[in-house]
Amino acid sequence: YDIGRVVGDGNFAVVRECRHRASGQTLAVKIVERSKLAGREHMMQNELSLLGSLCHPRVVRLFAHRHTHTHSYLVMELVTGGDLFEAISQRGTFSEAEAGLMVSDVSQALNYIHSKSIVHRDVKPENLLVERAAAGISRLKLGDFGLAMVVTEPAFTICGTPTYVAPEILNETGYGVAVDVWALGVILHILLCGFAPFRSRDRNQEELFQLIKQGHLHFLAPFWDHISEEARSLVRSLLQPDPTMRLTAGQTLLHPWV
């Protein structure tokens, strides 16, 4: 591989463009400094074992990996449009047509991984990569499987990102793949109105968690005045506090608004 320019960086890794010499294919290589992973080695092992087994157009592909004493190299599909967090920061809100396409993309990815009993546990805009398609349309791919796991029985580990965490994780009643659908509901709410459904005024995490556990949704004026009832109905169905009443990813794809 010939390694090229930096296309992204994070706390533990730098992502660079690379070219496969034999085929000429342009890919991405995630270069992880192993010293920075102290205590989190399992997250990378997780990503390698789970992502390596997945093949779906809405999930970022892992093609190969190599390790030295100091670094790990993950050769992945190159997605050049940044992530959804950056897109939201630039745009603020999206039309219902754009948001519907994004929900469809993420639901397809979730439906696929959930069919394999994999729960992602960190669905958020930063982990949704933007693929620029024809006519300026943005498509999404799900990435970063560091917290993902196979669930054959309810899980209890509290993890994820506070804004997107589902009530059953906080209630410690045991959870499964439905937590990913809750996170999709939070993302849809942000796409349509520009902010999350549950917010603490002074960024108090305990207050935020109480609001999430209560699960009272308010479609605040004027931000929701122009949003269709069909879109609101989907947000309600995704942000259903009872996970047994929440839509599945597959059911989301069949919702009339999507």
Contacts by 253-256, CB closer than 8 A, 24 or more apart:
253/104, 253/107, 253/108, 253/111, 255/230, 256/230
Which residues, 6+ apart, have CB-to-CB distance to 31 below 8 Å?
Answer: 13, 14, 15, 16, 71, 72, 73
| Residue 26 bridge partners (DSSP) | 19
Is 213 annotated among the ligand-binding residues?
A: no
- Catalytically active residues are 122
Which regions of the chain does DSSP assign to beta strands (E)?
A: 2-9, 13-19, 26-33, 62-67, 71-76, 118-119, 128-132, 138-142, 149-150
Strand pairing report for 71-76 and 62-67: antiparallel
88 neighbors 125 (Cβ within 8 angstroms): yes
Identity of the residue numbered 251: Q
Rounded Cα–Cα distance for residues 190 and 88 (Å): 8
Among 241, 130, 113, 126, smallest CA distance to 175 is for: 241
With H, G, I as helix, E, B as strand and everything else as coil, classify residue 86.
helix
Rounded Cα–Cα distance for residues 20 and 1 (Å): 5
Rounded Cα–Cα distance for residues 144 and 129 (Å): 10
Identity of the residue numbered 34: R
Q: Residue ranges for the binding site?
A: 30
Q: Residue ranges for the binding site for ATP?
A: 30
